[in-house]
């Protein structure tokens, strides 16, 4: 086993995970570890099993075989709600924000702050939400036109950044990002990667990034796991590898299994 990254403690360990859909083996005895404070990239072609793996971690699917450990304890999720409750958040790209609400209402949606005036009829503390959302986004160096602007006017990268910031604000411990930079332009991609970089500096959240574009994620991930046809093909620390290396591993691996 290679030496640890992050601070060395396993935040999440998925061990011996297998999942079949009918006759299709989507995952076959996959084991991955996410260390605390680490950014882990999971790459692979379409059909490699990336999405199935993270859907198991986020509670959407249940594995046929294998175990999930969260901070050392064995956990089972029957729904995404259960996973979110213990701090595993998934950033959904299309579903993330409410177009007709302001940025700060989006951040505080379903976790609103109230004025203390009355216990029965509660009024929103819009001012407080606006201020703390503003400060928080500033801390994370996330730029938005106006904190009270409707989400509709935001760019793709801004939306993604705010969805990520929202999870972190409410103390998610593990963030799962499925193709966070897909469909984003260069500037917008940088916006999202900068935010991930910022979160890494703070070190209180561990991140899994699913991607098939290596060039984008290699800049921010600490370690890369390569999946091919439902198996872990290789695992590399970013410092010790390059895009060319990884591309070669992927193409060779695909041939090897096909042969």
Partner 1 sequence: MREGAVVMVTVVMFAVFTSLNSGFFTIANSKTLADFVVGNVAVAAAQVMLMIVGEIDLSVGQVYALAPYLMYMVYQQSLPEKHGLGFTVAIPAAILAAALVGFINGVVTVRLRVPSLITTLGMDYFLGGFIIYISHGEYQIMPKQEPYTALFGGGVISGIELTYVWTAGALILLAIVLARMRHGIWSIATGSNLFGSREVGVGIHRTKIMNFVLASVIAGIWGIFIANRAYTFGAQGVADPTLGGDTLTLESVAAAVIGGTSLLGGSGTVIGALAGSLLIAVLQDGLILVGATAYIYQTLLGAAIILSMALNITARKWARR
Which spans of this chain sit near partner 1 (rule: CB under 8 A)? Answer: 80, 92, 95-101, 105, 109-112, 114, 121-124, 126, 152, 166
88: enclosing H helix or E strand:
strand 88-91
Q: How far is the CB of 60 from partner 1 (least distance, A)?
A: 12
Among 172, 258, 212, 247, CA closest to 41 = 212
Could you tell me the smallest distance in angstroms from the CB atom of residue 49 to partner 1? 24
Contact 61, 20 (CB under 8 A): no
> The tokens 């609103």 sit on which residue?
112
**For partner 1, the closer CB: 10 or 86:** 86
Buried b (16+ CB within 10 A) or exposed e, 153-179: ebbbbbbbbbbbbbbbbeebbbbbbbb
| 182 within 8 A of 202, measured Cβ to Cβ | no
Beta carbon of residue 83, minimum distance to partner 1 (angstroms, whole number): 12
Which residue, 167 or 228, is less far from partner 1 as judged by CB?
Answer: 167
Any idea what DSSP says for residue 2?
P
Nearer to partner 1, 33 or 102 (CB): 102
Between 157 and 230, name the residue whose CB sits nearer to partner 1. Answer: 157
Work out how close the CB of 68 gets to partner 1 at its nearest, in angstroms, rounded to a whole number. Answer: 21
Q: Please identify, using beta-carbon distances, which residue of 26 and 169 lies nearer to partner 1.
A: 169
CB of 111 to partner 1, least distance (A): 8
Q: Which of 91, 94, 107 is nearest to 209 (CA)?
A: 91
Token pair of 164 as six digits: 């990520």
């Amino acid at each position: 086993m290679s030496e640890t990254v992050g601070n060395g403690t396993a935040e999440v360990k998925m061990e011996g995970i297998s999942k079949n859909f009918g006759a299709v083996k989507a995952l076959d005895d996959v084991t991955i570890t996410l260390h605390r404070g680490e950014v882990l990239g999971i790459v692979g072609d379409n059909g490699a099993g990336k999405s199935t793996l993270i859907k198991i971690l986020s509670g959407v699917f249940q594995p046929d075989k294998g175990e999930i450990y969260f901070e050392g304890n064995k956990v089972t999720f029957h729904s995404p709600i259960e996973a979110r409750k213990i701090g595993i958040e998934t950033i959904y790209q299309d579903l993330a924000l409410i177009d007709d609400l302001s940025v700060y209402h989006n951040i505080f949606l379903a976790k609103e702050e109230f004025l203390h005036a009355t216990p029965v009829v509660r009024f929103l503390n819009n001012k407080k939400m606006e201020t703390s959302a503003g400060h928080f986004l500033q801390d994370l160096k996330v730029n938005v036109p106006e904190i009270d602007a409707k989400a509709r006017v935001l760019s793709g990268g801004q939306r993604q950044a705010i969805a990520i910031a929202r999870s972190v604000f409410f103390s998610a411990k593990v963030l799962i990002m499925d193709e966070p930079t897909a469909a984003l332009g260069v500037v917008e991609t940088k916006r999202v990667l900068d935010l991930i970089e910022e979160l890494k500096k703070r070190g209180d959240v561990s991140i899994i990034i699913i991607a098939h574009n290596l060039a984008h994620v290699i800049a921010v991930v600490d370690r890369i796991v390569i999946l091919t046809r439902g198996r872990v093909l290789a695992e590399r620390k970013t410092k010790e590898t390059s895009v060319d290396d990884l591309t070669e591993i992927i193409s060779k691996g695909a041939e090897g299994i096909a042969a």
